Amino acid sequence: MAAAWSGDLAAIGVLGEDTLQASSDAIGPDHPTTLGLAACLTVLLVSRGQIRQARALGEDTQRRSRDAHGPGDLTTLAAGAALAFALAAAGEAEQARVLGEDTLQRSTTAFGPDNPTTVLAAAALTAALAGLGQTARARTVGENTLQRSRTTLGPDHPITLAVTQTLDTLTHRTAHDAQRVRSA
């Protein structure tokens, strides 16, 4: 997937949609590979700013995965993390926080802190906490997540970039709040 490393999100999106359809046709819509592809595509859609589509795909993927494979399955956890990421991007921070915390706890327990699903869940939780104005907690989770994301996924991965952006926003918000307090 050369397009993935070049940052060509449009090309990746077409490839992802085509691959998802081909997988669904070949091995079925509820096969773990198909559901994993759908979770990845959910994250990609968020990265492309297609939040409504990401949320719809994320909700469908999580439901199908949970029904087919159970709540503790890696595919279900990946779908939950992707959905939490989409919900945070949609501004539904409390729903994203609840799902993100649950998914992060279960994924960390089952697969460890450096598993890509765990990193995605932590990234979604960081965004949700930031959306709720829980700056200190978001920063703590986000800084830990950024280090793991760089190591696990790479510095140019959409999740790494999203966590970096969230932390930058938190830094700006903190500086703005401090300026406002000094001006008051």
Domain that holds residue 45: 2-183
Residue-level pLDDT, tens digit, the chain, 184 residues? 233 433 555 656 667 888 999 999 999 999 999 999 999 999 989 988 999 999 999 999 999 999 999 999 999 999 999 999 999 999 999 999 999 999 999 999 999 999 999 999 999 999 999 999 999 999 999 999 999 999 999 998 888 998 999 999 898 876 655 566 666 6
DSSP secondary structure string for all residues of 81-106: HHHHHHHHHTT-HHHHHHHHHHHHHH
CATH at residue 117: 1.25.40.10
Q: Give me the pLDDT at residue 1, please.
A: 29
The dihedrals phi and psi of 153, each to the nearest 5 degrees, come to -105, -25
Q: Give me the pLDDT at residue 182, please.
A: 66
Number of domains in the chain: 1
The dihedrals phi and psi of 178, each to the nearest 5 degrees, come to -65, -40
Residue 50 DSSP code: -
- The structure's pTM equals 0.86
